[in-house]
Chain A
Amino acid sequence: MPNLMLKGKVIITGAIEAVTGLHIGGAAAGLDIGGIDNPVIRHPVTREPYIPGSSLRGKMRSLLDKHLGLEANKLIQRWKPAVRLHECDDEEKYLQCPACQIFGVTPGDQRRDWNRLKPSRLIVRDVLLSQTHEATRRLREAKTDLPFTEVKWEAAIDRITAAAVPRQNERVPAGAVFSPFEMVYNLFDLNGTGIDNDIRWLTHLFKAMELLEDDYLGGYGSRGAGKIAFRELKVLFKSRAYYEGEISEPVVLGEGNTLRDLNVSQFGEKIRQNLGD
């Protein structure tokens, strides 16, 4: 049996600001009809828009794939827009592939006999609309069409008749703040091989966050929607010694209001100093 041990967790927290209007579709669910053609996804309890962790995670992964020039060999969504991802098929390549290491691979047939397969390092939690932020209060008071969102009319061109067909799009307005956001990056040791690579790949995770800021989240990105910014960032390291109560506070790896304020290149050294074993 493979011996997999957790050496620590890197916890990234902060807020996500919608720099432009944000549309993360809830259409697939079919639960939020209410007359809108393209509703945004809403939290089932609060009815407020939120960002599903899976959307954040999936987008960061595909951007990192492209950035690293990895082949998108796996189709994970057939309907439009088709979503293709990269997943290594070769164990030696996998061991050196930041994207597959951070985000994981599905243990399909050809990977069943890999004995150096680690679980995905990253957990991304759902991000709710901030309950404390000034921006939420303004949104609550603003007379938007639907709670916390605006409806934009757009003309779609019918491909056969060339007639303009009006369509509605629901968006979370620019300025909305989603918080707290939380990502957890686990540092795993497999059969005593150490965590040097897991520490090294952490920088790629921050690269993926940067790529996301330069791209867009959700739909209609080509029309300017979905630009986001990470804010109020705090990166903590919790070692085994922390969980055992030998260290009372987690180590702060970095803090800042933007990604640029974090000194990511020094995280590795700080983690090594504070492993506690």
Chain B
Amino acid sequence: MPDTVLYRLHFRSPLHIGERGVGLEETRTSVPADTLFSALCTAWRWLYGADSLQAELLAPFADGQSPPFLLSSGFPFAGEMLFFPKPIVSLSPSKEEYPKKLRAVQYWSQSVFRRWLQGQLTDSDYESLAGEEEPLFWVLEEERKVLDPFRDEETGSVRLWKEHVVPRVTLDRLTSASQIWFFGQVAFRKGAGLWCAIRYHDARLRSRVEACLRLLGDSGLGGERGAGFGLFEVSVLEGFSLPEVEGAKYMVTLSPCCPDGKQWSALLDARCGYDLLPRRGWVGSPEGGNLRRKTVWMLREGSVLHRVDGTVVGRLVNVKPDPCPHDVWRYGYAFPLGVSG
């Protein structure tokens, strides 16, 4: 059984995850695994050099069948409570569609998620949502106490972060023209942040991956790093194992994934469900700067897929734009958790 380690990122400055562009930005309150992986690659390159990045990290991932580790996206936590992405479909014979109340919900608590994985969500669990106005989180009655320190004094609803859309001005150095652009920033409250999981198939990589995570904490994750955004401390979350149903027929992914053409047909049946997520952005290397990388569509976190034993779902995708002198890899492996259904 591979070793799964959970990490908590405690942010000490606001975080901006998204793309820079014209107009208002969608603010993400999670960090997709491919963004995390790219940041890890950058840190790896700083600490161990470009040759090591290529040979020891990217090459094993690129071969497709034996990725040395799998990485989940970063999801919110509050104290000891972890949140998971809402699964795209219910898989429950009695509740094919989620109740209306669940529409605005983005994250499920660990207990809700565990029950769902085991096929044990009951009608009374659904009723625990009744009292709240458009809740963002679904937590069970017995978990509510844990979240009391994170409730908004006025509305009583759980607030783990503050979101703002902030303007920033860039002055063109040559023409002196000013350009205003907007970006969303997320500031987590004390005691809240993002967690992610890494499932190590090759345990030898762990110490170096953790060094990269610590370095990232001092360099920043996401946008506007030069101004101090996205700084964090890392801690290993001891004594928590991810809920998972062994030998299940279905799985839910905790990372955006990009199956190749051959995998598609085996992954889907009538009960599966997925959302597509465009992943775009810029090439982040010194040699390939200022190029927009190719857009790739991935299955969003929370997508429910058919499980095929012994197959690793997803791949590294080459999103190299034509003029770029080197390949540009984007992480697209699923982080599967077995779900009964």
Q: Which residues of A contact B (CB under 8 A)?
A: 1-6, 9, 11, 28-31, 44-45, 52-53, 76-79, 119, 123, 125-126, 182, 184, 238, 240, 242-245
Contact = CB atoms under 8 A, between A and B. Distances in A.
B176 A77 contact: yes
A11 B178 CA distance: 32
B49 A3 contact: yes
B51 A3 contact: yes
Contacts of B169: 28-29, 31
The size bracket of the interface on B is 35 or more
B214 to A, nearest CB: 5
B47 A44 contact: no
B211 A244 contact: yes
A1 B287 contact: yes
Interface string B299-326: 0000000000000000000000000001
B176 A78 contact: yes
Nearest to B217: A243
A131 B166 CA distance: 20
Contacts of A31: 167, 169, 180
Interface string B208-244: 1011101100110000011110000000000000000
B93 interface: no
Given A238-B218, A240-B211, A243-B215, A3 B50 contact: yes
A53 B228 contact: yes
Contacts of B173: 76-77
Contact of A29 (B176, B178, B214): B178
Contact of A119 (B164, B207, B228, B286): B286
A5 B48 contact: yes
Contacts of A6: 46-47, 215
Nearest to A30: B178
Contact of B218 (A9, A30, A44, A245): A9
Contacts of B47: 5-6, 240, 243
22 contacts: A1-B326, A2-B50, A4-B46, A5-B48, A11-B218, A28-B169, A29-B167, A29-B169, A29-B178, A29-B180, A44-B164, A44-B167, A45-B166, A77-B173, A79-B176, A125-B227, A240-B211, A242-B214, A243-B212, A244-B207, A244-B210, A244-B211
Closest 8 CB pairs of A and B: A125-B228, A6-B46, A44-B166, A244-B211, A243-B211, A29-B169, A243-B214, A126-B227
A123 B225 CA distance: 9
B253 interface: no
A234 to B, nearest CB: 15
Nearest to B13: A125
A32 B146 CA distance: 41
Nearest to A78: B176
Contacts of A78: 176
Contacts of B208: 244
Given A29-B169, A45-B166, 11 more contacts: A3-B50, A4-B45, A30-B178, A53-B228, A77-B171, A123-B225, A184-B219, A243-B211, A243-B214, A243-B215, A244-B210
Interface in B180-223: 180, 185, 187, 207-208, 210-212, 214-215, 218-219
Contacts, number: 77
A6 B168 CA distance: 30
Contacts of A123: 225-226
Contacts of B219: 184
B176 A184 contact: no
Contacts of A79: 176
B211 A182 contact: no
Contacts of B287: 1
Contact of A53 (B48, B164, B227, B286): B227
Given A45-B166, A53-B228, A184 B218 contact: yes
B276 to A, nearest CB: 33
Nearest to A83: B173
A238 B47 CA distance: 12
B129 to A, nearest CB: 31
Interface in B41-64: 45-51
Contact of B228 (A2, A29, A77, A126): A126
A28 B227 contact: no
B180 to A, nearest CB: 8
A145 B187 CA distance: 29
B165 to A, nearest CB: 9
Contacts of B167: 29, 31, 44
Contacts of B227: 52-53, 125-126
Nearest to B289: A107
A45 B164 contact: yes
Contacts of B187: 45
Contacts of B164: 44-45
Nearest to A181: B228
Nearest to A125: B228
Contacts of A182: 228
Contacts of A44: 164, 166-168
A31 B49 CA distance: 43
B226 A245 contact: no
A207 B90 CA distance: 63
A52 B326 CA distance: 35
A129 B171 CA distance: 24
Contacts of B225: 123
Nearest to B162: A45
B189 to A, nearest CB: 14
Q: Of B164, B227, B326, which is in contact with the most chain A CB atoms at under 10 Å from its CB? A: B227
Contacts of B45: 4
